[in-house]
Chains A and B, each alone.
Chain A
Amino acid sequence: MSTFEKLRAVMSAILQVSPDAIHENCSREDLDAWDSVQHLNLMLAVEDEFGVSLDVDALQSLTSVPKLVEFLER
């Protein structure tokens, strides 16, 4: 499973949207469900599922699928 596919599964579960709604260039503006509270929940889930630690800079900058994928593949 690619990073994007795994991320899409996490996002779909947290944001309660169909995986089909999450594409590789998706950003917060594209998904109504990706609001402030859910952004926080998503960041917590990313920490858990990918075994990474995020700091406040990451919280503020990881606002799209491309940015998340790039960060997770670094």
Chain B
Amino acid sequence: MGFEIDYKASASGRLRYGEIPWDTEVFEFPVIRLCVEGDAQGIAAELEGVLAVADRHDRALIVSRVPLEDIEWQRALCAHRFYPVETSLQPYRELSRFEPGRRFAGLELRPVQAGELDRVLEIARSAFSRGRYHLDANVPRAGADERYARWIQNAVRDGDDVLVFCNEKSGDVLGFYHLRDLGEGTADLSLAALAPESHGLGLGPLLYDQCLEACVQRGFSRVETHISVANTAVLNIYSGLGFSFRSPEVVLHRFAEGASS
């Protein structure tokens, strides 16, 4: 399945939309990403045409990301029953001057092994509570949890870099992360999590610090990620590790007419 979306464009090219196959698979109703570009002026008829495609379904979710400062697009979408779900940021860090922090003995970082995948999926199902699907009361919680497990399953199946953070002595998996190569020396820290019982013990900063070191070892010169502003614990970790923040975006959702009426 990979992480690719097959987009179609509206007449003016200002709207592009495509089904998000991995989310559709999890939620068992179509989940469609709508990308907006350019000026929102006079977009209503074109937008209604795109939304009519989704509204053919009894239940379908359309997801759109709009720059926080782009009030016109937000207004245009909200006039068509979109509602804001979260604000996200894009943290990034150049790695040329990265110096790894101090390490504690007994922590091991290595590619996930077949026998550990169930544990990683268990962590993925339980570790996230502030993802955009969790923050939308109209989205089933079980699907929001399962989404992260499927994410890791798909990443492992596709041969992506999924690493586990382990207690070397006991072999316990404490956390994991998923890295993707975006090209031009940039890594996408796509998903990272600690087991809930390991929260609050200083392991988060160590996980992310070792993740940055792994990026350097893989030859990346920059790392990027996305985060909800609701995830203040990890924002504090990113800040401590020298990340900068850019591209605040509002994530908006809209269910098809049949779903919410």
Residue of B nearest to A63 (CB): B201
**What size tier do the contact residues of chain B reach?**
20 to 34
Contacts of B204 in A (CB 8 A): 36-37
Contact among A43, A53, A55, A57 for B202, CB-based, below 8 A: A43
Q: Which of B146-182 contact A (CB under 8 A)?
A: 167-169, 174
A56 and B74 alpha carbons, distance in the complex (Å): 47
Interface string of B19-55 (1 = CB under 8 A from A): 0000000000000000000000000000000000000
Q: A50: shortest Cβ distance to chain B, in Å? A: 15
B18 within 8 A of A: no
Please give the residue numbers on chain B whose beta carbons come within 8 Å of chain A beta carbons, in ascending order. 102, 104-107, 167-169, 174, 198-206, 233, 236-237, 240
Contact among B106, B236, B237 for A55, CB-based, below 8 A: B106
24 contacts between A and B (CB under 8 A): A35-B200, A36-B200, A36-B201, A36-B202, A36-B203, A36-B233, A37-B240, A39-B201, A39-B202, A40-B205, A43-B202, A53-B105, A54-B105, A55-B104, A55-B105, A55-B106, A56-B104, A56-B105, A56-B167, A56-B168, A59-B202, A60-B198, A60-B201, A60-B203
A43 close to B236 (CB less than 8 A): no
Q: Is the interface of A mostly helix, strand, loop or mixed?
A: helix
A57 close to B201 (CB less than 8 A): no
Question: Given known contacts A37-B205, A40-B206, is B106 in contact with A57 (CB within 8 Å)?
Answer: yes
Residue of B nearest to A60 (CB): B201
Residue of B nearest to A56 (CB): B106
Residue of B nearest to A41 (CB): B202
A21 and B83 alpha carbons, distance in the complex (Å): 45
Contacts of A37 in B (CB 8 A): 202, 204-205, 236-237, 240
Please give the residue numbers on chain A whose beta carbons come within 8 Å of chain B beta carbons, in ascending order. 28, 35-37, 39-41, 43-44, 53-60, 63
B104 close to A43 (CB less than 8 A): yes
Contacts of B236 in A (CB 8 A): 37
A39 and B233 alpha carbons, distance in the complex (Å): 13
What 9 new A-B contacts, CB under 8 Å, besides A37-B205, A40-B205, A58-B104? A37-B236, A37-B237, A54-B104, A55-B104, A55-B106, A55-B169, A57-B106, A59-B201, A60-B203
